[in-house]
Amino acid sequence: MASSEETKSLEAECLCGSIHFTFDIPVASLPLSVYLCHCSICRHATGAPTVFHSVLPKNTTPNFISPSTERNLTSFKPAEDCTYDFCSTCGCHVAGVSFDRKEWTIATSMFKDHGLDKFKITSHVFSKSGPGSAIPAVVSKIDGRDIKHWNPPDDDPRAKVNKPTAEAGPTGEDRLRAQCYCGGVSFTFGRPNDEVRNDTFMSKYVSPRDQNKWLAIYDVCDDCRLANGTHVAGWTFVPLMLCDPPIKTDLKIGTARTYASSPGVLRSFCGTCGATVMYSCAARMPTAEQAVVDIATGILRCPEGVMGEDWLTWRAALAFEQTGVRYDKGFHQALRDGMKAWSEEQYGEALTMMIE
């Protein structure tokens, strides 16, 4: 048995490296219990479908590794008891932090080693927060273990589900709102139109099953994990020409900040609340008029539910599956198998569309 004073150092770093620290965790507390939070605050303030959080022992605070410093964090206050902290440069969600900075609920996805001896996913929290099926329904077991659900009692104000209102354009056409938690980034986009469907490039991102819907995927690559601060990113693919108000290829709108994570790649996030907003790459911009961007599904305000089935067709296969499995085998295998089963139930087959 480990002594009560023995500790183990766990190292974490965001995509750009501006946030780089260790936590000294009592060995007796390992593995740390991890919960997946599906509340609307976490979804809309990160842009992700869910957030992987672990409450650290009180007074367990980060040891920043130079040149990283706590000053590289931006803090946003979404609630009355904590801030959400994210990297000011790349937007990576880092933690929920008490106002006295002594209690950290850390985003475990940015740690370099997510092995079972260090982290153990145990529960879905606020799994009823968003209507419709989603990751809580898809991932019910990990490594043969049942994943528990926690939701507030029905008469608790926190149990209220805020259903977004359907929107329409000036001529009555459907519009879907994309908006971060603080509202600093807010825009709408429409369904595929004839110009998109008849374009040899942009039409690649229209659902082959329903020409009025867009393609969507779960992406589990390392870069998205470290830019979002969560194991899994949800993306849908939409031409910028359909966004209102207009958004240029620099992705600047409202309070958005951008980070060039690699040559030809640009990521945007809200500089106020930290929500991931968009991803763009040179390969999806043959011309400025044909530019297609990835929009984070966690900021979509779909009236029918968090999977947006009225707007999106989801591919069963995960993007960069092997990368995800290498990082956290149990979760990503569960997500892979769950999405295959969900796709078969939803569409009658496991959809395997190629997304360039």
Tens of pLDDT along 120-138? 999 999 998 877 768 998 9
Number of Cα atoms under 13 Å in the Cβ half of residue 88? 8
Phi-psi group of 12: left, alpha or beta (phi > 0 → left; psi -120 to 50 → alpha; rest → beta): beta
Percent of the chain surpassing pLDDT 90: 91
104 forms beta bridges with 97
pTM: 0.96
195 token code pair: 């110009």
Q: Specify the DSSP element, H or E, that contains 89.
A: none
Q: Do domains 7-151 and 173-347 have the same CATH topology?
A: yes
Q: Average pLDDT of the chain? A: 95
CATH of 7-151, one of 3.40.50.720, 2.170.150.70, 3.40.190.10, 2.40.50.180: 2.170.150.70
Q: What is the DSSP letter of 206?
A: B
d(CA 293, CA 266): 10
Among 89, 98, 78, smallest CA distance to 271 is for 89
- The answer to whether residues 95 and 106 touch, using CB atoms and an 8 Å cutoff, is yes
For 173-347, give the CATH class: mainly beta
- What does the pLDDT average to over 226-239? 98
Q: Specify the DSSP element, H or E, that contains 215.
A: strand 214-219
d(CA 121, CA 100): 27
Question: Of how many residues is the chain composed?
Answer: 356
283 token code pair: 């390969």
- What does the pLDDT average to over 99-114? 97
Domain parsing of the chain, residue ranges: 7-151, 173-347
- What does the pLDDT average to over 195-200? 98
d(CA 92, CA 179): 18
Instruction: Write down the pLDDT at residue 154.
Output: 87
Instruction: Write down the pLDDT at residue 2.
Output: 54
| Range 99-110 burial, b when 16+ CB lie within 10 A, else e | eeeebbbbbbbb
Instruction: Write down the pLDDT at residue 133.
Output: 65
More confident residue, 277 or 355: 277
d(CA 295, CA 134): 18
271 token code pair: 């500089």
Could you give phi then psi for residue 108, rounded to 5 degrees? -75, -15
| Per-residue pLDDT band at 148 (split at 50, 70, 90) | very high
288: helix, coil or strand? helix
Among 296, 327, 315, 313, smallest CA distance to 353 is for 315
Instruction: Write down the pLDDT at residue 80.
Output: 77
Q: What is the DSSP letter of 128?
A: T
pLDDT of 117 above 90? yes
Residue type, 348: G
Give start and end residues of each alpha helix (H) in the chain.
Answer: 40-46, 135-138, 194-197, 222-228, 321-327, 329-347
| Per-residue pLDDT band at 312 (split at 50, 70, 90) | very high
Strand order in the sheet with 312-314: 256-262, 265-270, 276-281, 292-296, 233-239, 214-219, 312-314
